[in-house]
Amino acid sequence: MNTIKLRKQLEQFFIEDIGERDVTTDTIFPAHTTGEIVFIAKSSGIFCGQTVIEHGFQLLEPSMDINMLIKDGEKVEIGQEIATVKGTIRNLLKGERVVLNLIQRMSGIATKTKECVDRLNSPYTKICDTRKTTPGLRMLEKYAVTVGGGYNHRYGLYDAVMIKDNHISFAGSIRNAVKTIKQSIGHMVKVEVEVETKAQMVEALEAGADVIMFDNRSPEEIKKWIKYIPETIITEASGGITLENVASYKDCGVDYISLGFLTHSVASLDISVKVNLS
C-alpha cells in the first residue's frame, strides 16, 4: 500500500469528520489529559487495517503509543483485542471513528475474500476483484482483497485495456476495437476482451487479444470453449458468480475469477473501540 497516498487520504477523512474542532471532546477534556483505548473484535473474521490504525493516530498525534496485537491477514475471534492506543484523550476520540470505519470495511472485504478463496479451493484459479469499489477507497479495498488471499484486477481505466460489450457496440466489432487499440498503445499494455459467445471468443483471439474474459458463462460452457484458447492467453470468468456457486468453477480451467461483490456489497466486520481502564 502506498503510505504517502494513505496519509493524504486520512487527512481528508479527518478534515471531513472533525472540521474545525470536536465540540464535545474539546469541551469536556483538557488538552493534555491522556488515556488509552482498545480495538476489540465483535465478530470473527480476517483482520485488515494495521497501517490505517498506525498512520491515522500518528497523523493526529505523532507521539501516540500504538500497540498492534493482530497483524493484517490474521484471524480474529469475538472478544479478541486487536490494538491498544495511548495518547491525549482529545486525539484518541477524534480519530477513533474514521479509523474504525475504515478497518471494519477492510476487514469485511478480507474476510469475504478469504471465504471465496476457501470455497473455490483451487491450486490454479485465482480470485480477483473488479473496479466496483467505493470512490476514494479503491486503494484500501483492493489491498484488503490481497490480505484475504485474492488478487487485484486492473486498478483503473489507465493501466490495462478491457474491451466490454458497450465498447464493441460502439466500435462495430471486436476486431475493429482491438485493431484500433493495437495501433495506438505500446506492447506493455495488455488487451482484455469480454466475450459472451464462442464466435466472439474466436474473433477476439484472431484479433490478438491477450486476455479473454468469459462473461456470464456457465462452468460447462467455459470447459467446452477454453480448449480452443492457446496456453499463452490469460483467461478469466466473471458475471453471475456468487459465493454459493463459485466452487463449481474450480475445474473449468480459467486463470482468474473476478468478483465484484468482494467490494461493492460486502458487510463490514464488527469491531468496537472501548476505553481501556485496566
CA distance 80 to 174: 53
251 a catalytic residue: no
94 a catalytic residue: no
CA distance 166 to 105: 31
215 a catalytic residue: yes
11 a catalytic residue: no
Active-site choice (194, 203, 217, 236): 194
Active-site choice (164, 198, 224, 274): 164
CA distance 246 to 242: 6
Active-site choice (96, 215, 217, 236): 215
119 a catalytic residue: no
SS3 per residue for the chain: CCHHHHHHHHHHHHHHHHCCCCHHHHHHCCCCCEEEEEEEECCCEECCCHHHHHHHHHHHCCCCEEEECCCCCCEECCCCEEEEEEEEHHHHHHHHHHHHHHHHHHHHHHHHHHHHHHHHCCCCCEEECCCCCCCCCHHHHHHHHHHCCCECCCCCCCCCEEECHHHHHHHCCHHHHHHHHHHHCCCCCCEEEEECCHHHHHHHHHHCCCEEEEECCCHHHHHHHHCCCCCCCEEEEECCCCCCCHHHHCCCCCCEEECCHHHHCCCCCCEEEEECCC
Active-site choice (86, 132, 179, 250): 132
Query: Cell numbers at residue 22, please?
Result: 470536536
Active-site choice (7, 86, 97, 175): 97
Residues with active-site annotation: 97, 132, 164, 194, 215
